[in-house]
Amino acid sequence: MTYITRATAAAGALLACAGFLAAGPAQAAPRSTFPLADNWLYLSVARGEAGPGDAHEKLLLCDPVPLGFARAAEACAELEAAGGDIARIPHTKVFCPMIFAPVTVHAHGQWNGRPVDYQETYSSKCVMDARTGSVFALERGPAPGR
């Protein structure tokens, strides 16, 4: 059995503190290396009108390269073209079945230094896809024909 005396423990703690202090003050990382620097959104898609109970959630990073889910590059390009405003993404002309299956989406984060907070309930996933492009395509692969 090994016994550590108080003197040994105190000496070890002093050596650790001395090594830490000798290293100098911690320096902040440059802004460009911080992963959430400019363009990022925390996205959620939930069935129903209530919201995040059973939601799929992802973090979309657009700087320096698109990351987060399979269609992140498309989503970042659409957001860039719309100035980060999800409501300004051009709507796709599609025919959606008239089946009421509501989907609630929420996005919060920042785009070019401005806060983003978007929440909307759509009548179906088809309508959501037509109005928001690839931004909330969290669980699907590449779009057909692309």
DSSP labels for the chain? -----HHHHHHHHHHHHHHHHHT----PPPGGGSTTSS-EEEEEEEESSS-GGGEEEEEEE-SSS-BSSTTHHHHHHHHHHTTT-GGGSPPP----------EEEEEEEEETTEEEEEEEEESSHHHHHHHHTTTT--S--SPTT-
Domains of the chain with CATH codes: 31-132 (3.30.350.10)
Query: How do residues 87-138 score in pLDDT, each as one tens digit?
Result: 999 999 999 999 999 999 999 999 998 999 999 999 999 999 999 999 999 8
26-35, 48-57, 70-79, 89-98: segment of lowest average pLDDT: 26-35
Report the predicted TM-score, pTM, of the whole model to 2 decimal places. 0.68
